[in-house]
Amino acid sequence: MKKRLFTPGPTPIPEDIMLAMAKPIIHHRNPEFKEILKDVNENLKYLFQTSQPVFTLTSSGTGAMESSVCNILNEGEKAIYVNGGKFGARWGGLINTFGGIPIEIKKEWGTPPDADEIIKQIKNHPDTKAVYLTHSETASGTVTAVKEIAKKVREISEALIVVDGITSIGAMEMRMDEWGVDVVLTGSQKGLMIPPGLAFIALSERAWKKVEITKNKNFYFSLQRTKKAFDSGDTPWTPAITLVIGLNEALKMIHAEGIENVWARHSKLAEGIRVGCKALGLELLSKNPSNAITAVYVPEGIDFQKFNDALKYDFGVTVAGGQDHLKGKIFRISHLGYYDEIDMVGMISALEMTLTKIGHKYIPGSGVRAIQNYFNQHV
Amino acid sequence: MKKRLFTPGPTPIPEDIMLAMAKPIIHHRNPEFKEILKDVNENLKYLFQTSQPVFTLTSSGTGAMESSVCNILNEGEKAIYVNGGKFGARWGGLINTFGGIPIEIKKEWGTPPDADEIIKQIKNHPDTKAVYLTHSETASGTVTAVKEIAKKVREISEALIVVDGITSIGAMEMRMDEWGVDVVLTGSQKGLMIPPGLAFIALSERAWKKVEITKNKNFYFSLQRTKKAFDSGDTPWTPAITLVIGLNEALKMIHAEGIENVWARHSKLAEGIRVGCKALGLELLSKNPSNAITAVYVPEGIDFQKFNDALKYDFGVTVAGGQDHLKGKIFRISHLGYYDEIDMVGMISALEMTLTKIGHKYIPGSGVRAIQNYFNQHV
């Protein structure tokens, strides 16, 4: 059966990239690989919209999250974080692990944090050293207004703004320098369209000053070791060479399309999916939906397992289910990475045909008609 | 130019594995991937010769080294380590970073530690909690007698034996359970014949008991988190999916060949390279040479750069240079992973022709004749 992946990581890998990674491996201390690293570094800066170096780590995105805690926060230092989903909650786990004092802003899944809630907590805790945000919460498909929050926080506090951009980078606008964000990180298997195994992190000059006085223990994820190697065109440890080769190709594609165009494409595809789902009478979870992933309630009376099996085994479509308390209650459609309009129409079509199979009532063709109309009207 | 990689990581990737990794990516929470993980786990146990689970981490080998320190050693606890090269020295860096008290046994590069030296230090420091060893020191191509050391240490001490098997696993005999080794770790781009990006670690029951009472901070490399996920057939963080798929193929190859046969093949290929080099009048560095890599002195009067350039640009052969104080003084030929006898004859032949080019005196054909003779006499 032809397989169609609509999960928020891994995301589909462009065919040319699969083949580039399948070429005979080269050594990472060779001039040829150093050239690749140089190109990668330049294009990552473009992706993050920063003039700062963007470091490539060999780990999942969680490794970059760890690195932005253990290099930046000392024991006993306060950090605000927003827990509005599984990945926001991970910030709390990390802050705790490394001995920081976590100040949690808890949000219902699907509801983004308000800038004023964060400001209020900073006023309550003026000694807060960092604010940890999740740009696009993958568990609920919800966007945090990073630009606005960064601006307001900066007006009243020196706290560093750290942003988990794991599902946002390459899908949604992120202008690290212009927005005054101090740390941005992401993973490889998302907007970057390559397999999991790499993570990326960039720091502002302000953040670097904090790294220099942070005493938490770190070795593999030490940003000082990473920077030292980076400055001589290298990596501190053996990098995941084939993934870096794929990354180079992916970044060239993004550069050729233009980052604003990549963001606009994601915005259009996401809105198409939302329009299509609503036309089918489906309800969306998020109050501020992400352009990377759409969380949709499983219709009343429909068994998720039955629904998911039909989608998967009859039409080859893999979506993501709900996590934790939303398990069985929502499904999540990814439109992150290597997708175009026809992919989205295909997704809505598979959804329609699945709903027909399992007996959900809706007007046949209404979803596909709606998404096509939307795309036609927004060229 | 046809390229030939003779570096100790990455090592050449079998063609079938390159293609398996180039297939459309699958999701890591799918039943299909969980089946792969199950097979991988079984075959990793065979590779390590252990009945304990072997965990797959997404990181370089250094990540597994970190994990065997921060999960096992508390602040203020003593650990003996052998510094006989760049990778042995890394144990010292890790023990220091995580607040342990490192007791260094310093050896000249190329000289392995003697079991009695370790026993002497344990007698000096009876409160030693762990002994960190490097089975095959990549920087010098030298083997440590792990079996003998583990036996002698166990007779007089409860200290855990931790073995960096990064270049030894899959190349040289390692019987984790039988030898009473407590922790064994390795990386993917070595004997496992796949690209870098994965690391592996297994622990004895004794070692697990220590993990449970160790308080050092860890998150991404937490073995308790890893075990919890492992026990439900999962990984704690998104794994490097394509590399795991390649790993599965590699482990099947090793299983089909038989681990003893894999060890015997490496032993034969390594001895062939040593015989060939000696026949050319070249001097070997190591007093106890590894079957994974052979370190050879650059002949007197020969410029390493000129030698290496000829090897690389005239014959497509990439070897590794010397590190630290041996930079420019030695070169290192890897025979680790996907190699056979003809590859080794080719390597010696490229070496001969390079030496001719740069004016080194030797009897033409003597190296190739010697290695062929050796192979013919040891079928």
CATH number at residue A373: 3.90.1150.10
- Residue range A81-98, pLDDT digits in tens: 999 999 999 999 999 999
pLDDT at B88: 97
Are B284 and B364 found together in one domain? Answer: yes
Mark whether B227 and B314 lie in a shared domain: no
To test the contact with chain A by mutation, choose from B19, B26, B27 the residue with the greatest count of A C-beta atoms within 10 A, namely: B27
Q: Among residues B257, B276, B293, which one ends one of the domains?
A: B257
- The answer to whether A357 touches A43, Cβ cutoff 8 Å, is no
A59 with B61: Cβ contact below 8 A: no
Scanning B93-112 for CB atoms below 8 A from A yields 93-94, 97-99
Q: Would you state the pLDDT for residue B1?
A: 87
Which residues, in sequence order, are bridge partners of residue A294? A333
Closest by CA to B332, choosing from B128, B97, B17, B110, is: B110
Distance between CA A29 and CA A35 in Å, rounded? 10
Task: Inform me whether the pLDDT recorded for B379 exceeds 90.
Answer: no
Cβ pair B70:A13 closer than 8 A: no
Contact between B240 and A195 using a beta-carbon 8 Å cutoff: yes
Average pLDDT over residues A257-266: 98
**Model pLDDT, residue A208:** 98
What are the structure tokens assigned to A18, written together? Answer: 């699969």
Helix (H) / strand (E) element for A199: namely: strand A198-203
Q: What is the pLDDT of residue A361?
A: 86
Residue B266 shares a structural domain with residue B250: no
**B4, B219, B318: best to mutate for the A interface, most A CBs within 10 A:** B219
When the pLDDT of each residue in chain B is averaged and rounded to a whole number, the result is 97
User: Is B94 found in the same domain as B139?
Assistant: yes
Domain containing residue B28: CATH number? 3.40.640.10
Nearest residue in A to B321, CA atom: A29
Average pLDDT of the segment spanning B345-369: 94
Write out the two tokens for B117.
Answer: 């030296």
ipTM: 0.96
Q: Which residues of B touch A3 (CB under 8 A)?
A: 24, 26
pLDDT digits (tens, 9 = 90+) for A348-358: 999 999 999 99
Residue A161, C-beta contacts closer than 8 angstroms, at least 6 positions apart: A130, A131, A133, A146, A149, A150, A153, A154, A180, A181, A182, A183
Q: What is the token pair recorded at A221?
A: 């994820």
Q: Which two tokens stand for residue A375?
A: 């795309």
- A169 and A205 in one domain? yes
Looking at the structure of chain B, the number of domains it has is 2
Nearest CA to B128 out of B151, B97, B99, B100 is that of B100
pLDDT at position B361 over 90 = no
What pLDDT does B126 receive? Answer: 98
Over residues B3-16, the pLDDT tens digits come to 999 999 999 999 99
Q: Which chain B residues in 179-238 lie under 8 Å from chain A, judged by CB atoms? A: 187, 189, 195-197, 216-221, 237-238
Does A220 contact B218 at a Cβ distance shorter than 8 Å? no
Same domain, B273 and B183: no
Q: Are residues A265 and A227 in the same domain?
A: no
pLDDT at B331: 98
Contact flag B241-A195 (C-beta cutoff 8 Å):
yes
Contact B66 A220 (CB under 8 A): yes
Residue A196, pLDDT > 90, answer yes
Q: How far is B311 from chain A (nearest CA, A)?
A: 14
Give the model's pLDDT for residue B109. Answer: 98
Q: Is the pLDDT confidence value at B154 over 90?
A: yes
Which member of A22, A66, A239 has the closest CB to residue B21?
Answer: A22
Confidence band for B359, pLDDT divided at 50, 70 and 90: confident
Q: Is it the case that residue B177 has pLDDT exceeding 90?
A: yes
pLDDT at A359 over 90: no
Nearest residue in chain A measured CA to CA from B17:
A22
Cis peptide before A196 (omega within 30 of 0): no
Burial tier of B108 (Cβ tally within 10 Å: 0-12, 13-18, 19+): exposed
Mean pLDDT of chain A: 97
- Of the two residues A243 and B1, the one the predictor is more confident about is A243
CA–CA distance from A67 to each of A71, A262, B298, B337 (Å)? 6, 28, 41, 33
* B25/A5 touch (CB, cutoff 8 Å), yes or no: yes
Same domain, A167 and A302: no
Residue B54, phi then psi, degrees to nearest 5: -115, 120
Of B210, B236, B257, which marks where a domain is finished?
B257
For residue A379, what pLDDT is reported? 84
Asked if residue A97 and residue A57 are part of one domain, the reply reads yes
Sign of the CA dihedral with B206 first, then B207, B211, and B216 last: positive
* Same domain? B142 vs B217: yes
Q: What is the pLDDT of residues A304-325, one digit of tens each?
A: 999 999 999 999 999 999 999 9
User: Do B50 and B173 fall within a single domain?
Assistant: yes
Q: Are residues B284 and B348 in the same domain?
A: yes
CB B293 within 8 A of CB B336: yes
Nearest to B306 by CA among B348, B360, B366, B347: B360
Q: How many Å apart are CA A340 and CA B20, to the nearest integer?
A: 26
What is the rounded distance in angstroms from the CA atom of residue A350 to the CA atom of residue A358? 12
Sign of CA dihedral B36, B41, B46, B51: negative
**3-class secondary-structure state, position A160:** strand
Contact between residue B90 and residue B139 where contact means Cβ atoms under 8 Å apart: no
Q: How high is the pLDDT of residue B134?
A: 98
Domain of B326?
A: 4-9+259-377
Give the pLDDT mean for B276-285. 97
**DSSP-derived secondary structure for A111-147:** -PPPHHHHHHHHHH-TTEEEEEEESEETTTTEE--HH
Question: In terms of CA atoms, which chain B residue is nearest residue A16?
Answer: B22
Confidence of residue A61 (pLDDT cuts 50, 70, 90): very high
Of B257, B292, B320, the one marking the end of a domain is B257
How much is the average pLDDT of B142-167?
A: 98
What is the least distance, in Å, from the CA of A63 to any CA of chain B? 6
pLDDT at A231: 96
